[in-house]
Chain A
Amino acid sequence: MLECRHLTVTRGAKPVLTEVSLTLKAGQFIVLLGENGAGKSTLLSAICDDIPYHGEILWRGTQLNTLDPLTLATQRAVLLQHNRVNFAFNTTELIAMGRYPYQESTREQAAVVDQLITQLALEQLAGREVTQLSGGEFQRAQFARCLAQLNAHDPGTRNKLMLLDEPTSALDLHHQHRVLSAAQRFAHQGNTVIAVLHDLNLASLYADRILLLAQGQIRSDGPPQDVLRRDVLQPIYQTGMQINLHPGYNIPMIFSEPLTGAPNA
């Protein structure tokens, strides 16, 4: 579905992403992992067309940056990091903005927004102004806007591309799971979802495929049990860790160790 060929991004003279080639299938929740500065957000930005790059990005066989912006907006949604709004839209209005690429009445918009508000349990936020929301609340509202943009309320929606840059960075445990479950469910419907995460255990719980980046290249690529291995992770994160299987889910769970050394037994 999404294919990157020889993707290279440089910042000044410094390469941030070097010759990255990959093919991402629909129906998978893909997580990008890596240390700070590994190139995760850069890869995402390139797929968003937010930065110049060398190489090709093909979306369903067509060069992504040649698609008509409005058509593309009905197929690709992006949740960005660190973005606040200075105008007092309320949460419902913000989510409804996800419907801008479609020509529809307020009534039709409201029907979509209602479903997503229920799905993401945003009832408490619906009437509040986004300028008054906490970082996490705003992040959830923006996530709902992305879902609205891709018709995620409709279980029949297929072949969409959703890009999430650290969607859980400001969220509490419950909402991390709520957002990632919704993203995963959307992916499993037949869409491509790519998320940058920092929490290795959340990645293990939700990802169908993990791409581990380091120094602008893909170091490891595969399902969680193949990527989340001590011999793979430890050189990259330079942190001591134990990896055990989750007793309920049988997937790797990472127990990292403080840099100060082993505890006094």
Chain B
Amino acid sequence: MTPALSILTSRHHTAWVWLSSTVLLALAWLSLSSGPVGWDWRMPLIALLPDQLTQDITELHITVVTQIRLPRLLLALLVGCVLACSGAASQALCRNPLADPSLMGVTGGAAVAAIAVIALSPKVAFINEAMVAPAAFLGALAITSLLYRIASHNGQVQITILLLAGVAINAVAMALIGLFSFFADDTSLRLMTYWQMGALAGASWPAMQYGAPLILICIAMLFIRRKQINALMLGERDARHLGVNVRRLKNEVIFLIALGVGGAVAMSGMIGFVGLLVPHLARLLVGPDLRRMLPLSMLLGCVVLLTADWLARLVVAPSELPIGVITALFGSPFFVYLLIQQKRGAHA
């Protein structure tokens, strides 16, 4: 093998993909097998196992698995995957590993729009639950494009301005959410509180149909564009000289981030830090090239979200914590660590 080839293929990408797939499979098994109704390892295989092995499983148990645990698992996978993808895309777009939709206020923008729909739906006739996902998408889109315009100058994104604008946008978002909850009735209020902290407990097959398409489109389209987005990490002018239509790509990426974050928020509320933490971990393992890093990020996003969900269910069982609390508890110290790293880098 030539020296360059051995360097280009030296990141042990396949090994990490296999490892995280295995962990993911184990977690998925755990997530389908356990819950307040009881633990049963056979659950994921119920359709495959011979009858004499599954005779004692009750109808209730089966319903719990197919109607509660399975949609919840799929939701965790979709949300974990899309948060990791949109995080990686935001970082490439801003050319800075500290960018993250939740820190930038994109998640907040999506949540405000979604909560507005929830708060207004009992009062205004033409507003209904189906509008939550589109509203979250539009909220995210408005914030992403606004932020990008505020923070970029001559194709360079100022990360300080981006993060400060994120602080401001998050503050406005919190204020608006407070305002909506002030006027909301009790049912909406519960739903809103639960949204603000992020939770997967709302997962059901009907709820899935609104957000899942947005998420799947986002994941697929970002994946297709991974090579071009790679070039964007070199800088806008360099990417353009490599044949990338930068203006179009940037608009597409902004749109896709909004689509993904909007879909995720619509189905599971505000779950922060996954988009920051997961791509960072993936870059540490296989380097920044999105052709290797993006697939691994997707897997790790699922792993992180399933782990967080499992912890959320375990810590105060049989009740459960909002998953956003878990990701924020682990994610914010990590963000501080990254800031310190970046400071060291700047002084080196």
Contacts and interface: CB of A to CB of B under 8 A. Distances in A.
Interface residues of B, number: 29
Interface string B225-260: 001001101110110111111000000000000000
A50 B237 contact: yes
Contact of B242 (A86, A92, A95, A98): A98
Interface string B1-36: 011110111000000000000000000000000000
Interface stretch (B103-111, B138-146, B283-291): B283-291
A121 interface: no
B97 interface: yes
A113 B235 CA distance: 21
A191 interface: no
Interface residues of A, number: 42
Interface of B: 2-5, 7-9, 95-97, 227, 230-231, 233-235, 237-238, 240-245, 283, 287-289, 345
Nearest to A48: B241
A126 B4 contact: yes
B2 A110 contact: yes
Contacts of A74: 243
B5 A86 contact: no
18 contacts: A69-B243, A73-B241, A80-B238, A83-B234, A83-B235, A85-B234, A87-B288, A93-B8, A93-B287, A96-B8, A97-B242, A100-B227, A100-B242, A100-B244, A110-B4, A114-B2, A114-B4, A126-B3
Contacts of A90: 7, 287
A149 interface: yes
Contacts, number: 103
Nearest to A92: B7
Interface stretch (A8-16, A101-109, A180-188): A101-109
Interface in A64-103: 69-74, 76-78, 80, 83, 85-90, 92-98, 100-101
Which of B4, B96, B242 has the most chain A CB atoms inside 10 A of its CB? B4
A94 B238 CA distance: 12
Contacts of B96: 86
Contacts of B235: 80, 83, 85
Contacts of B345: 131
A86 B8 CA distance: 19
Shortest beta-carbon contacts, A-B, top 5? A73-B243, A110-B5, A87-B288, A70-B243, A110-B4
A88 to B, nearest CB: 6
A64 to B, nearest CB: 12
Given A106-B9, A111-B4, 5 more contacts: A69-B243, A70-B243, A83-B238, A86-B233, A93-B289
Contacts of B240: 49-50, 69
Interface in A145-203: 149
Nearest to A96: B8
Given A87-B288, A110-B2, A127-B7, A97 B243 contact: no
A117 B233 contact: no
